[in-house]
Copies of this chain bind each other. A is one copy, B any other.
Amino acid sequence: MPKTIPENSVGIVTPQCLHFDEPLLLRSGKTINSYDLMIETYGTLNEAKSNAVLICHALSGDHHAAGFHSEDESKPGWWDNCIGPGKPIDTNKFFVVCLNNLGGCAGSTGPTSINPETGTYYGPDFPVVTVRDWVNSQVRLMDRLGIPQWAAVIGGSLGGMQVMRWSISYPERLRNAIMIAVAPKLSAQNIAFNEVARQSITADPFFHNGRYLEHGTYPKKGVMLARMVGHITYLSDSAMRDKFGKASEAIANEPIAGNFGRDLRTGKLSFGLNVDFQVESYLHYQGERFSEHFDANTYLLMTKALDYFDPTVDYEGNLSAAFAKSSCRFLLMSFSSDWRFPPERSREIVDALLEAGKQVSYLEIEADQGHDAFLLPVPRYLEAFGTYLNRVSDEVNA
């Protein structure tokens, strides 16, 4: 519980649930006849309705991007480092909209919702949704809110992929596309890790072919394992070394002599199958915590959305051609130690944008934290992010 809510927080926020009745045709060919989207907004829409920005979340995110739901909430929303008064996405200047995507498990219609056609949980019957489907649903949200054009659409990782799709499919409806720690599509290695996560979940005896809610169970261990695998890919080797190696401070300039994050949990080896190293405890804790609130079927859907994302699919594999009609300006940022979506993957996008003659800014940030850096208060990142958005604010609030 925050004793006092920090001054640069958006404060106590209240989510809203919006219902949509118009059927949404999905990429899979299936249709969702009606659905809810949970959203949060921060800041105030200006009279010209020109200062709205959309935040797109990544694999495990939701609509709660900033502030607190109550005084009792111990942690703020997932992107509180970047959203708030005076922060890069400055809520004194922008009207910030964030939603839980379709298929999610934080209030928007998804596998844990009741399927009106069957009267029971969607579970595994919830259709596979793609980045394009999400963006289509976000366009409807935008129309509902009466926003003609986003000042910016912003996202990291899978969120950045949604930004990319916006710039390609709805060029006239955003002024700026900000993609952070993103890739034009997953590599075979990325897909491989996702498949391990999916197998971990579906192999859990409590998965029941996805109908665990009907069975009153939950594949907790499978979700935990999936998250453990994922978590390793979000951190860099050096971030782990720093986190789990006492010696790391002493040897900041001499990493070679470090203990490589091999701090023991109890000071000595167990010579058994117990947890010996701090890094193991940490992963268990992360997996455990995640498995307490995240739906297994949603996890499966999110990884498939990642695997399937390919903005070049209608352009014979040509990314530059995909961007031909885009009219927004682009900002890309990547992090040096991100091995999930390393800087070279961002550079591919930058190169394609340049080839297409688009306005693009790109910043590669030295940061040790791996893919997770996009969520963290890395000074150079926050500064560049804020500087860019200040210019956007000057335009849209003029």
- The answer to whether A127 touches B271 (Cβ under 8 A) is yes
Within residues 246 to 262 of chain A, which ones have a CB less than 8 A from any CB in chain B? Answer: 247, 256-257, 259-262
- The answer to whether A203 touches B204 (Cβ under 8 A) is yes
- The answer to whether B241 touches A188 (Cβ under 8 A) is yes
Residues of A within 8 A of B (CB): 27-30, 124, 127-128, 185-189, 191-193, 195-196, 198-200, 202-205, 221-222, 224-225, 228-229, 232, 235, 237, 240-241, 243-245, 247, 256-257, 259-262, 269, 271-273, 275-277, 279-280, 283, 300, 304, 307-308, 310, 317, 339, 344, 348, 351
Give the Cβ gap from A195 to chain B, nearest Cβ, in Å: 5
- The answer to whether B283 touches A232 (Cβ under 8 A) is no
Give the Cβ gap from A333 to chain B, nearest Cβ, in Å: 19
Interface of A is mostly: helix
Complex CA–CA separation, A82 to B131 (angstroms): 48
Number of copies: 2
Complex CA–CA separation, A283 to B237 (angstroms): 24
- The answer to whether B277 touches A191 (Cβ under 8 A) is yes
- A269's closest neighbor in chain B, by CB? B308
- The answer to whether B240 touches A317 (Cβ under 8 A) is no
Q: Report chain B residues within 8 Å CB of A348.
A: 256
Give the Cβ gap from A275 to chain B, nearest Cβ, in Å: 8
Complex CA–CA separation, A77 to B272 (angstroms): 31
Q: Report chain B residues within 8 Å CB of A277.
A: 188, 191, 307
Complex CA–CA separation, A28 to B261 (angstroms): 23
A-B contact sample (4 more), CB < 8 A, given A191-B277, A262-B310 = A188-B244, A195-B283, A196-B229, A276-B307
From B28, B195, B204, B237, give the contact of A280 (CB < 8 A).
B195
> 9 closest Cβ contacts across the A-B interface?
A188-B261, A28-B271, A188-B240, A188-B279, A187-B260, A195-B280, A189-B237, A128-B271, A188-B244
